[in-house]
Chains A and B, each alone.
Chain A
Amino acid sequence: MATDAHPTPETSEIEGRIVEFLHRELLEPGVTIGRDADLLSGEVIDSIGILRLATFVGEEFRIVIQPADFVVENFRSVAVIAGYVVRALAAHGPGDTRP
């Protein structure tokens, strides 16, 4: 029902919202992160942080992250996550909760 109010965002906007979330919720004050920085090195955020990030991405962009999608190839960096969001939205459209 709210689909019309949530047009598919641009990649740069998706990246921006993820970076903003990381800085607001998960990174130490003063730490900045680039779109290509490795999020899975274990040094930037921990496994609980990754779960929170994934929850944010699912809610913010209204996609359902399937277990099969919960892989390094989709979460390595901000740019990679944005690419995954774009693909997921193209496949199902925003707000769709089907598998």
Chain B
Amino acid sequence: MPVLLNRLVDEAASRDPGAPAIRCDGDTLTYEQLARRANGLARVLLETGLSRGDRVAVWLGKGLDVPVSFYGALAAGATLVPIDPKSPVDQAVRIMRATGATHLISEPDRRAAVSRALADCPDVAQVIGLAGDEATPVPCVTWETVLEQASDRPPDVQVLDLDPAYILHTSGSTGLPKLILHTHYGAMSFVDWAASTYALRSDDRLTNHSSHHTCFATFDYYAAARAGATTVILTPAVLMMPGSLSAVLEREQVSVWYSVPAALVQLSLRGDLEARNLRALRWVLFAGETFPGKHLRRIRQQLPGARLSHVYGSTEVNVCTYFHLPETGDPVGPLPIGKACATTRTLVADAALHPVPDGEVGELFVRGSTVMAGYWGDPERNREVLVRRPAGGGLDEVYFRTGDRARVLADGNLAFVARADRQVKVRGHRVELEEVEAALLSLAAVEEAAVFTVPDGEGSSALRAAVVVGGDAPPAVRDMLADLRRSLPPYALPSDIAAVNALPRTPTGKVDVRALAGQLIEGKTRDGD
């Protein structure tokens, strides 16, 4: 492992300084420009009191400043904390407080939100990316000042492969999201595996489709830089308009794509793919949810030149298994999640970590170099999910408990069976149903709440909620949704809330979600009984 994340762009710039590193809305940063800006930012961070390992929060919308911030923080030896750009202020505050971030990198458009957040983040001692004013209680350095510091020379900071690199976060919609710490070693293990498995080259053009706080961005940015390739950042406007998205793919000659299936389904249904020349596209990777067969078959016809690869793994392990679809013929039944990456060993086992026979369903455990170092600040949860298994000599091996149920198929591939708990995926975002229920229950009039998923017909899931409301003037659904927006990110909002007289219960008193779903989908609420 000759190079770590902190030197990726310097390395690429020394090989080919004029090669395009980042493209966004027609703008370009070459590797030389990206490296110079990142080095300048690293200097500013170090000059404003940053010490190795300090957490640097990045709260930015998509744009060229994102990779500059990532590589600048890493070059300074910091632990990077990317925050979901759509986070409400409260969630950004929770993440910065929990990680003890000392520096915040943001942008002028977020001035009001940053000012409000800083009032509750006493550890943040420096803001970079916007000018200070009376409402901003800490020193600020603008992006213009950072650019004045641009430099060919990276700061002289020793970074070990075992040092923390970044902390990603899950949706964790109420309370604190899970904070997932990866080391340089873990990140580079994935990056090298991905660059090799998909034979990434300097003339490849990847996209950044997902938000940059997710593990998808690890591939989009770091694997691209490893190969000296280009990352095309896809902005929200383009992502909302499939016809524009496919036009960007054609114009930018995108060759490698990575997203949740739902994004590909949108592109396939509404992206006017027949009118585009997408012959440059050679790999399409998808992860996060199952891909409905009918959509998969259609998109293969629309993109005949592309190989498809189903990759599997949560943010805690990045990617741990993968399945390349055969070049001809459509697989029958659900797609397998494939075989373990070269970085990984998988184990389908019972709760005591004893392997179950092949073909039987067990919980999936994974061991490997891409597994997270642990959840930040949560030793109890770490003990639950990073489990030890005797390995001889009095030593243990550590396995990550995925919480997914799986089995080994006859051909050696793994098949995903179900989530062991009620964590679901909504358009690629992890949502804990219990947390949405908690948010509903925090509304004054709501007495009971239950949330479940229904297929949205396009390969993803939608959330439906049922509530029992009290009081004389029950709130309108619209008002409840408006209240929920204050505490939940958009993807965790139920698409509908039904008011019912009571929730069906199982004999043990738990909400009978299956019965509830049946009632609501068939329109048989008890209202009007």
Contacts and interface: CB of A to CB of B under 8 A. Distances in A.
B270 A67 contact: yes
Nearest to B271: A67
Nearest to B274: A67
Interface stretch (B7-15, B237-245, B314-322, B336-344): B237-245
Given A67-B271, A71-B247, A41 B241 contact: no
Contacts of B275: 67-68
A81 to B, nearest CB: 12
Nearest to B272: A67
B265 to A, nearest CB: 12
A70 B243 CA distance: 5
Contacts of A42: 61, 85-86, 236-237, 239-240
B243 A46 contact: no
Contacts of A66: 272
B482 interface: yes
Contacts of B86: 42
Interface string A26-40: 001100000000101
Nearest to B61: A42
A50 B240 contact: yes
Given A67-B270, A67-B271, A40 B479 contact: no
B242 A70 contact: yes
Contacts, number: 59
A76 B270 CA distance: 17
Contacts of A72: 237-238, 240-241, 244
A75 interface: yes
Contacts of A76: 237
A47 interface: yes
B13 to A, nearest CB: 31
A72 B237 CA distance: 7
Contacts of A41: 236-237
Interface in B109-127: none
Interface in B256-291: 266, 270-272, 275
A73 B238 CA distance: 10
B242 A67 contact: yes
A67 B275 CA distance: 10
A41 B85 CA distance: 12
Interface in A63-87: 66-73, 75-76
Contacts of B238: 72
B294 interface: no
